[in-house]
Amino acid sequence: MHTTALVLFSGGQDSTTCLAQALTRYQRVETIAFDYRQRHSVELDARLRVLEQLRLQFPQWAPRLGQDHLLDLGVLGQVSETSLTRDMAFKIESSGLPNTFVPGRNLLFLTLAAALAYRRDLQVLVTGVCETDFSGYPDCRDDTIKAMQLALSLGMDKRFLIDTPLMWIDKADTWRLAHTLGGDPLIELIVEHTHTCYLGERSHRHAWGYGCGSCPACELRARGHQRFVAGR
C-alpha cells in the first residue's frame, strides 16, 4: 500500500488539484517545483501562497503536508527556444506542436523528482499531465508516463508509481474534482491564489482566476470554468 507521495507542484490549477487529492490519499506528501527560467515565473511565488492557504484553510490536510523543494533548472531554459522560455508570440510550429512545448521538460521533471523521491523515501510521483487537454504535448501522453514509470523504476531499482489524476478528464472536470475534494473553499483558493497564465499576468482577475485571458493556458482554464459553472 502506498502511503507517501511527491507532488510535482507548479502552483497552477492542475497541480493544486492533484496536491489536494494526494493529501486525501497519502499519509505524507511533499512537493517539488522547478525554476527553468519560465516567462511565467510568478508561479513560483503563487505556489508558496497556495501551500500556505492549504495549511490554513484545510487543517485536516496540514499534518500530511510535508517539506517543499525547489530545484534550479536553468539549463532547461538555456536549451529551449520556446514561447515559455523566450519573449515570443504563441503559435503552432511546422511540426504541428505549439511553441509552448518545452522539449524534454516533463521527462526531466520526472527524472529529478524520482531522484529526490528516492532520497526522501517517497513511493509515488504525482503529476497533473493530461491527455484530454494536453495541447499536443507528447510528454503528457499516457504512453509516455507509463514508459517513464518503467524506466525510472528500473534505473533506480525502486518501484515507483506515477499517479496522473487528470490524465483522462478535461478542464471542466478538473474544476469538478477540486470541488469534490474541497468544496467551494478549494475552488475559491484556486481562483484567488493559483497561477496558470503563460504571460505571468496577475493584474486582471477573472471569474476563473488571474491571467491575461488570451494565452492558451488562460483560454483553456476559462472554458473549463464556464462549463463547470454551467453544470452546477
Check which CATH number belongs to the domain holding 218 and give it.
Answer: 3.40.50.620
Count how many domains the chain has: 1
Residue 199: predicted pLDDT: 84
Query: In the chain, which residues have pLDDT < 50?
Result: 83-91, 93, 97
- The full 3-state SS of the chain, as one line of letters, equals CCCEEEEECCCCHHHHHHHHHHHHHCCEEEEEEEECCCCCCHHHHHHHHHHHHHHHHCCCCHHHEEEEEEEECHHHHHHCCCCCCCCCCCCECCCCCECCCCCCHHHHHHHHHHHHHHHHCCCEEECCCCCCCCCCCHHHCHHHHHHHHHHHHHHHCCCCEEECCCCCCCHHHHHHHHHHHHHHHHHHHHHHHCCCCCCCCCCCEECCEECCCCCHHHHHHHHHHHHHHHCC
Residue 134: predicted pLDDT: 56
Residue 166: which domain range? 4-230
Whole-prediction pTM? 0.90
